[in-house]
A and B are shown apart, each in its own frame.
Chain A
Amino acid sequence: MDVEILLRVDGKEHRLTVDTRTTLLDALRERLGNTSPKKGCDHGQCGACTVLMNGQRVTSCLVLAVAGEGAEIVTAEGLAEGDELHPVQRAFIAHDAFQCGYCTPGQVVSAVAMMREAQAGWPSVVTEDLDADVVVLDDREIAERMSGNLCRCAAYANIVPAIAEVARP
């Protein structure tokens, strides 16, 4: 079945007709030509397709495109403003926090959302003080909160300090 939907991606509106089985990830990549989110597993297990949906990180392979109707979607491409990269993107380059780069847009988006989650006091499994208004992102917190984004090149030892540089300036 086909449905017409409105997708708002990186600040632009797109009206398109999609098969109701189409995932948000496939709609972005195959229909809108936005290949910033990557397809690594199509099962929500790797995090390469992570985008912001109304400000929160989601694996876009597990969201149907029709469920994205009207939502504000931001990809790693949209985090940059023109040629001006987001501070997390700059930190990833400075720390060489990737090799092949395929998981990287998902890592970057995930990191941006993760810092907001900590700022809002959301605890993780390693958080000591569950009542804290703001969770301080030490390396252990960062590693734990970024573990939904797999990196087979295994740049983790660079990803954590890259994010820490932005999270703990």
Chain B
Amino acid sequence: MTVTSAGPSAVGAALDRKDGPLKVRGAATYAGEWPVDNPAYLYPLQATIAAGRITGVDASAALDLPGVLGVITHVNAPKLAWATDPEVAVLQSDEVAWRGQIVGAVVAETLETARHAAGLVRLAYEQRPHDTELRADRHDLHRPQHAALFGAAPGDLQDGSPADSALGDVDAGLAEAAFTLDATYTTPMNHHNPMEPHTGIAVWTDDEITLYCSSQGVHLHRSLLAGAFGVDAARIRAISPHVGGGFGSKVYPVVWGTLALMGAQLVPGRPVKFALTRQQMFALVGYRPATIQRVRLGADSDGRLTAIAHDVIQQTARAKEYAEQTVGATRAMYAAPNRSTTTRVAALDVPVPTIMRGPGEATGMFALESAMDEMASAAGLDPIEFRIRNEPAVHPEHGLPFSTRNLVACLREGARRFGWEGRDPAPLSRRENDWLVGTGVASSIYPSPRLPGNSASIHADADGRYTVRIGAADIGTGTWTALTQIAAEALGVGVEDVNLEIGDTSLPVASSAGFSSGINCWGSTIYAAADELRKLLDSEHGGMVPAEGIEASADMPDNPYMEQFAMYSFGAQFAEVRVHEDTGEIRVPRLLGVFDAGRIINPKTARSQLIGGMTQGLSMALHEASVIDPRFGHVVNNDLGGYHFASNADVGSVEVHYLEERDPYTNPMGSKGIGEVCIVGTAAAIANAVHHATGVRVRDLPITLDKLIV
């Protein structure tokens, strides 16, 4: 058996999802479904005040209940070795920092008993005044210093970038402009709500600590938990081959894992099962923070931007600072000589926010792309033409060339496919029966970054089988299929010859599924391991796999081009909306997106990710808002009846096209990220279409019918 260099391509084939046959019958094993003997069940207690301290615990009634194995509170919880991060540590003090924070847990023989007993534990509190309201006129707004990029990089914002940036003189740019805009856009808290609640089954023995978990990155979760419990990471095995969605909520927050392990310590050797309820997820696993965004634009009489200013105020938690790059996309989108961005945060007595699909870009581009539409109208230009006129030759802030940037082609191709030509730009120009019809467009952008910490191994058998191992995650993204295709291409063999293993810390280390970086990181690493295997075979075995088999491994190689090029995916999204003249009901019969995401690994699974992101964008535009009651500090609509996200009947046609071009600089596959670019811009495209249909500009998400009845 010989290994050839990268041969006929498995990449680019629209293969069915490898895990499909398991998933359609419900046989893929998610975290809570691992068969374990005699499990105990854990049910958590949550704080019923938003700020203060616990002054007393009475667990006697719970402990008296038959079947209760123990009650854990801050009084008796194990002391953690690392307890500074409220997204990891629990029960380390009497302090309450938000309503819904974990303040205890019951472990019992059955789920019913654990839940019943949790209701019998009495906690006494000393309450202090709390504050959960984000307002622009707050006096305590401050420039953020995000805790860290998942423990790795310093920086004001969570992507490591500065909070503020400035070039030229915005005031002068606005003063010289023929057209100006000064508008404020607001977005609410959104919750990820993956269908699978965050779940862990923990087993603690003297030797190994096992955690079956729903994780976007088993290695990150393992290192967080090993640090918290002060144990050698090698002692913990985290297993997560199938994940029921994540959208960012299963990257960092891991209090559910910590609590499951504490439960397991209480009953050593016995598995402890813990799944958050849907309601608990609204307080414990992060959310997209609310924003207040002021955008100022100036353009000359030719429609060329003279100034762009984007000033963002967003909420963070008093317990831990989280600040996302809401201004990030604005820095990269359009040319203008005078520009500035600022980010300020208000620390509130609320749960800790976290990354949610397109963190920062999704909200920031709602503002910028709505503003661009408003400016195009003001300047009397078609919104596509206006964007094309302001297309930058290089990255507008740091001046690096783009590795590839086909935004203009996306806009033009989208316009052609959508039927944009001949559109009457006047609002209220189209009426069909009782429906006002409008169309809108917006651009999409998302970076193609890399996360550190990747390694892969490949074992070749003499019979031509290859086992590829990397601790990557498939959260519905198609990793099982796409990495198999990449490995096949890298090895020059067929996909049927590749056996992929992911989602387990017993495999080589991998970064988490986040920042649209998975395929970039994991694929590059597998490519490198395939190269190592080829070198090893050529140098020592004359290119032939020996009878006993052979294994090679590699770390993710550095990509020197990352210093030389700005790397982003792009897209153009088009929306048709219908607004009922009498009721204000809003429907979106048609969404169309054209994306420049480099080479597409699997057009079938990629399409699903893109339509999924666009549909989540529709949902963000029209439906989603978590509402905090400032009197009590909790999300009042904390279930799937109260927190509406798009259901089947909310969605019409969603069409996706690729402008496929291999990016020569991003990675050996030539791909860019697809998982997040698709949710960026959708809300603006819909808001712009709503304005076109009705003449009403809604700058406050979600766009509900009450905002259209004026």
Contact = CB atoms under 8 A, between A and B. Distances in A.
Interface of A: 19, 21-22, 26, 29-30, 33, 35-43, 45-46, 48, 75-77, 79-80, 85, 89-90, 92-94, 96, 98-105, 108, 142-144, 146-160
Contact of B651 (A79, A99, A143): A143
A100 B28 CA distance: 10
A150 B640 contact: yes
Given A19-B110, A22-B112, A100-B243, A144 B25 contact: no
B360 interface: no
A92 B612 contact: no
15 contacts: A42-B277, A42-B278, A85-B24, A85-B25, A93-B20, A94-B16, A96-B20, A99-B477, A100-B242, A100-B244, A108-B25, A147-B647, A152-B645, A154-B615, A157-B653
A45 B639 contact: yes
B16 A154 contact: no
B605 interface: yes
A118 to B, nearest CB: 15
A126 B476 CA distance: 31
B27 A77 contact: yes
- Interface secondary structure of B, over-half rule: loop
Contacts of B21: 85, 93
Nearest to B477: A99
Nearest to B281: A41
A105 B24 CA distance: 6
Interface stretch (B188-196, B332-340, B551-559, B563-571): B188-196
Contacts of B19: 101
The 6 tightest CB contacts between A and B, nearest first, are A36-B26, A100-B476, A102-B244, A101-B23, A99-B476, A105-B26
A143 B608 CA distance: 17
A36 to B, nearest CB: 3
A48 B16 CA distance: 22
Interface residues of B, number: 63
- Interface secondary structure of A, over-half rule: loop
Contact of A99 (B16, B27, B112, B245): B245
A38 B26 contact: yes
A93 B481 CA distance: 13
Contacts of B612: 99, 153-155
B607 interface: yes
Nearest to B244: A102
Given A101-B476, A157-B651, A43 B641 contact: yes
Contacts of A22: 112
Given A96-B605, A160-B648, 6 more contacts: A19-B110, A33-B35, A100-B194, A147-B648, A151-B648, A156-B651
A152 B24 contact: no
A36 B111 CA distance: 19
A96 B604 contact: yes
B616 interface: yes
Given A33-B35, A100-B196, A154 B26 contact: no
Contacts of B116: 21
Given A39-B275, A43-B639, A45-B641, A103 B611 contact: no
Contacts of A105: 23-26
B641 A103 contact: no
Contacts of B604: 96
Given A38-B196, A159-B648, A101 B112 contact: no
